[in-house]
Amino acid sequence: MTSPIIIAVDGYSSTGKSTFAKAIASELGYIYIDTGAMYRAVTLLAVRSSLAGAGQTIDFDGLRKILYGKPAVEISFRTSGPGSVSETWLDGENVERSIRTLEISRLVSYVAAEPFVRDYVDNRLREIGAAKGVVMDGRDIGTAVFPDAELKIFMTARPEVRARRRYEEMRSRGRENVTYEDILSNLSERDYIDTHRAVAPLRRADDAVLLDNSDMSVEDQIVWFRNILKERHLCGF
* Residues at the interface with ligand DC (CB under 6 A): 13, 35-36, 39-40, 108-109, 112, 138-141, 190, 194
Compare residues 17 and 51 and give the one whose CB is closer to ligand DC. Answer: 17
Q: What is the nearest approach in angstroms of ligand DC to the Cβ of residue 194?
A: 5
Nearest C-alpha neighbor of 131 from the set 20, 30, 38: 30
Phi–psi pair at 173, nearest 5 degrees: -90, 10
**Cα(148)–Cα(7) distance, integer angstroms:** 10
Compare residues 51 and 187 and give the one whose CB is closer to ligand DC. Answer: 187
Q: What is the nearest approach in angstroms of ligand DC to the Cβ of residue 47?
A: 14
The helix/strand/coil state of 90 is strand
Compare residues 1 and 130 and give the one whose CB is closer to ligand DC. Answer: 130
**Cα(178)–Cα(121) distance, integer angstroms:** 29
**Beta bridge mates, 33:** 136
Compare residues 19 and 226 and give the one whose CB is closer to ligand DC. Answer: 19
Compare residues 85 and 223 and give the one whose CB is closer to ligand DC. Answer: 85
Q: What is the nearest approach in angstroms of ligand DC to the Cβ of residue 136?
A: 8
Q: What is the nearest approach in angstroms of ligand DC to the Cβ of residue 122?
A: 9
Q: What is the nearest approach in angstroms of ligand DC to the Cβ of residue 145?
A: 7
Q: What is the nearest approach in angstroms of ligand DC to the Cβ of residue 158?
A: 17
Q: What is the nearest approach in angstroms of ligand DC to the Cβ of residue 227?
A: 26
Compare residues 1 and 198 and give the one whose CB is closer to ligand DC. Answer: 198
**Cα(189)–Cα(113) distance, integer angstroms:** 13
**Cα(163)–Cα(150) distance, integer angstroms:** 31
**Cα(36)–Cα(15) distance, integer angstroms:** 13
**Cα(104)–Cα(80) distance, integer angstroms:** 24
Compare residues 51 and 108 and give the one whose CB is closer to ligand DC. Answer: 108
**Cα(111)–Cα(57) distance, integer angstroms:** 11
Could you tell me which residues come within 8 angstroms of residue 187 by beta carbon, excluding any fewer than 6 positions away?
A: 12, 13, 14, 159, 162, 163, 166
Q: Please, what is the end-to-end C-alpha distance for the chain in angstroms?
A: 9
